[in-house]
Amino acid sequence: MKNMTMASLLENNLGIIIAFDNKGVVRLINKIGREDLQFNNDEVMITDIFAVLFDGESSYDEFVNAMNGRLIKTVAYRKNNTCFPIAVRFSKMSFEDIEDINVAAGYNMQNEEDAIKTLKKAEEDMKEALHARDEFVANITHELRTPVNGIKGHMKNLMDTETDSKRKYIMNIIMQCCGNMEKIINNLLDFSKMEAGKFEICEKPFNFRACVQHAMETSSVIANEKGIRFNSFVSDDIPETVIGDELRITQILNNILSNALKFTSVGYVTLEVYKTHQREDKVELTFLVTDTGIGMSEEDKQKLFKSFSQADSSITRKYGGTGLGLYVTKQLVEQMHGNIEVESEKGKGSTFTFSIRVGVEEDEAIDEPVSMSNFSIESLKNHSLVVAAKEETELIYLFGSQENKRELAGSIEKLILCIEMENWQKAEDFAENVKSLCSGAEQEVKSKSFRLLMSVRKEDYEKAIKYSYEIRDDLENMNQNVI
């Protein structure tokens, strides 16, 4: 019964089992062995299977004793003289009526070696693909820059001589489109460099406040067009001159500010900068960008900093973009030894918080590390300006509040101007703002705001003007009891 159990164990083993005597005669090949080798038990010598290991002169007994338990990687020959790679161990054991029989236990390595070859091939293909991608991105960005720069150059020449206000307005839109294209090109190029590990931060002294001001001025055109309040605050304790990569810090600010402005139709976008830590000549700067835009859900926030990703497909359709801007921003922030996060609620705006580490000149260095406890990351989130921003966001959409009236009046004024200029694309944006700001109004006003939006979408001048003036009159004559 014991021997039958051993025979059953060897027969059903998942590896190849070959038992042979000291004359080299194979006494047993288990099921897996018979399938892989195509030999039966009574018609083979061990030298037929392991021709590479046995030269015909060595004693089988001596060989097994010398190799006992050692893992050997070799080849095993099938009955048809083809072979496959095998890992095998030789040992002695007692079996049935034979004492000290030799046993070879191994496993077929063909699948493993095929997998390794496939993996190596995949790695080589991936390297080639990455190299081809890098070359493609470099070439395509160069090819795209040439026509964009050509368009910008010609438009600047035309704008210098153009006197018609309507044509100048269209030219400004073309220039903005060129600027947007340049941002996409730059993001693609930076993404390619980051993926290839070739991106570098270049640090040198620069005027920090001038850097922030430049970023604000770059985005102020969009803010002015949309009628959004746009302001900044830089803490007084931040040194005038810091040491860092001015170009990349400006790029971070431009990406986050333009992102906030893109998704904000009414209200404001605010930038605040504080010094939150200093150790010797290294200073941590923390930035907060708060907006009263569309906000996002918790699920959307998970996708935010991934490459080629936006919160959802409807965002891409309505607002455009490649989804690279915030991915590049996150990589830049992390290369400056900082991190970035966002707090947001659907329909109630967002606050982006990020920190970076910069150097200061020798006369600004301190011996002991200092944390500005009043301006820690957590306290900044509850800072009076941020809290006020959240409260004002709610008031903007509270129909009848002073904030709501102010935003409504501004949107209607710009809407009427766009209708008169027959700029229906911009008019639709302001009409949507009016509809959103009237969402808490009585049914009659809500209906008018809806009909106004539909008239603008149909480019119906008469009705669009009619409903615009009616809502403006309703606003001026609004009952003082409305809260």
* pLDDT single digits (tens) 202-219: 888 999 999 999 888 888
362 part of a folded domain: yes
Residue 428 has pLDDT above 50, yes or no: yes
Residue 3 has pLDDT above 60, yes or no: no
Contact assessment for residue 78 and residue 37, using Cβ atoms and an 8 Å cutoff: yes
CA separation, residue 159 to residues 153, 165, 362 (Å): 10, 10, 47
341/377 Cα distance (integer angstroms):
11
Residue 186 pairs with which residues in a beta bridge?
none
Q: Which of these three, 142, 160, 195, is where a domain ends?
A: 195
CATH assignment of the domain containing 53: 3.30.450.20
| Phi–psi pair at 146, nearest 5 degrees | -60, -55
CA separation, residue 215 to residues 2, 209, 230, 253, 288 (Å): 85, 10, 12, 6, 14
| Phi–psi pair at 29, nearest 5 degrees | -130, 125
- The helix/strand/coil state of 77 is strand
Residue 262 has pLDDT above 80, yes or no: yes
Question: What digits encode the pLDDT tens for the residues 65-109?
Answer: 888 889 999 999 988 889 899 999 998 877 655 567 888 999 888
Return the pLDDT at 62.
Answer: 84
Q: Which of these three, 387, 421, 456, is where a domain ends?
A: 387
CA dihedral 273, 277, 280, 282 (to 10 degrees): -50
Residue 374 has pLDDT above 50, yes or no: no
DSSP assignment of 93-152, as one string? Answer: EEETTEEEEEEEEEEE-HHHHHHHHHHHHHHHHHHHHHHHHHHHHHHHHHHHHHHHHHHH
Pairing type for strands 204-207 and 98-108 reads: unpaired
Max mean pLDDT among 160-164, 280-284, 354-358, 467-471 falls in: 354-358
Q: Position 428: which residue type?
A: E
Return the pLDDT at 88.
Answer: 92
Nearest-CA neighbor of 415 among 361, 349, 333, 475?
Answer: 475
Instruction: Give the mean pLDDT of 52-71.
Output: 82
Q: Please give the radius of gyration of the chain, using alpha carbons only, rounded to the nearest integer.
A: 37
Percentage of the chain lying above the pLDDT 90 cut: 4
Residue 326 has pLDDT above 70, yes or no: yes
The answer on 237 and 187 residing in a single domain is no
The answer on 233 and 336 residing in a single domain is yes
126/122 Cα distance (integer angstroms):
6
The answer on 208 and 72 residing in a single domain is no
The answer on 364 and 270 residing in a single domain is yes
Reported confidence tier of residue 362, pLDDT bands at 50, 70, 90: confident
393 part of a folded domain: no
31 part of a folded domain: yes
Q: What is the DSSP letter of 215?
A: H
394 part of a folded domain: no
Return the pLDDT at 453.
Answer: 87
The answer on 259 and 383 residing in a single domain is yes
* Token code pair at residue 363: 């006369």
Match 């070879």 to its residue by tokens: 104
The answer on 218 and 75 residing in a single domain is no
The answer on 375 and 414 residing in a single domain is no
Question: What digits encode the pLDDT tens for the residues 270-286?
Answer: 899 988 888 888 889 99
Nearest-CA neighbor of 353 among 431, 428, 284?
Answer: 284
The answer on 87 and 24 residing in a single domain is yes
397 part of a folded domain: no
Instruction: Give the mean pLDDT of 292-303.
Output: 77
| Phi–psi pair at 168, nearest 5 degrees | -60, -40
Instruction: Give the mean pLDDT of 438-445.
Output: 82
Contact assessment for residue 256 and residue 352, using Cβ atoms and an 8 Å cutoff: yes
The answer on 349 and 241 residing in a single domain is yes
CATH assignment of the domain containing 275: 3.30.565.10
355 part of a folded domain: yes
Owning domain of residue 407: 402-476
The answer on 156 and 61 residing in a single domain is no
377 part of a folded domain: yes
Match 């609620």 to its residue by tokens: 345
The answer on 346 and 278 residing in a single domain is yes
CATH assignment of the domain containing 157: 1.10.287
Contacts of residue 436, defined as CB under 8 A and 6 or more positions apart, other chains included, come to 265, 266, 397
Spacing of C-alpha 13 from chain mean position:
48
Contact assessment for residue 435 and residue 450, using Cβ atoms and an 8 Å cutoff: yes
Return the pLDDT at 207.
Answer: 92
The answer on 155 and 91 residing in a single domain is no
338/325 Cα distance (integer angstroms):
17
Nearest-CA neighbor of 390 among 439, 345, 341?
Answer: 345
> How many folded domains does the chain comprise?
4
292/301 Cα distance (integer angstroms):
16
395 part of a folded domain: no
Pairing type for strands 229-234 and 26-29 reads: unpaired
Instruction: Give the mean pLDDT of 112-125.
Output: 86
Question: What digits encode the pLDDT tens for the residues 389-412?
Answer: 666 667 777 787 888 888 888 888
Residue 151 has pLDDT above 50, yes or no: yes
Q: Which of these three, 58, 86, 108, is where a domain ends?
A: 108
